[in-house]
Amino acid sequence: VQLQASGGGSVQPGGSLRLTCAASGFIFDDYAIGWFRQAPGKEREGVSCIGSSGEKTYYRDSVKGRFIISRDNPKNTASLEMNRVKAEDTAVYYCAAVAVSCSTVVETTTSESGSRSEKYRGYWGHGTLVTVSS
């Protein structure tokens, strides 16, 4: 199982960035996809989640109206479009294949790491660093 997040980098406050998650090694359509982030000294928090079919999307309040999640099942990819970014969006961003409800993803945090997620019943990918700074 592999999930690789890419697209991170440095961006100025108010700018935009698009993260992509490429998945392989499992049946992509069987899982919801969550985007998480972890700032230094903090737990990993779910910021957005999209259901397995892509019909339902969920967002943590702190990013609602600014971030847009999407997925392309035939290509086994998911994306997180980050708009009007703020300094507090600075973090390492991870994508994960999850088998829990998307509402659970965006309402919780975790101290998990590694490749398997017991809490979200799925798999973690490698992260990509997003730095928002002027």
**How would you class 53 by CB atoms within 10 Å of its CB: exposed for 0-12, middle for 13-18, buried for 19 or more?**
exposed
Per-residue pLDDT of the chain (134 residues; tens, 9 = 90+): 999 999 999 999 999 999 999 999 999 999 999 999 999 999 999 999 999 999 999 999 999 999 999 999 999 999 999 999 999 999 999 999 999 999 999 999 999 988 999 999 999 999 999 999 99
Residue ranges of the alpha helices (H) in 59-112? Answer: 102-107
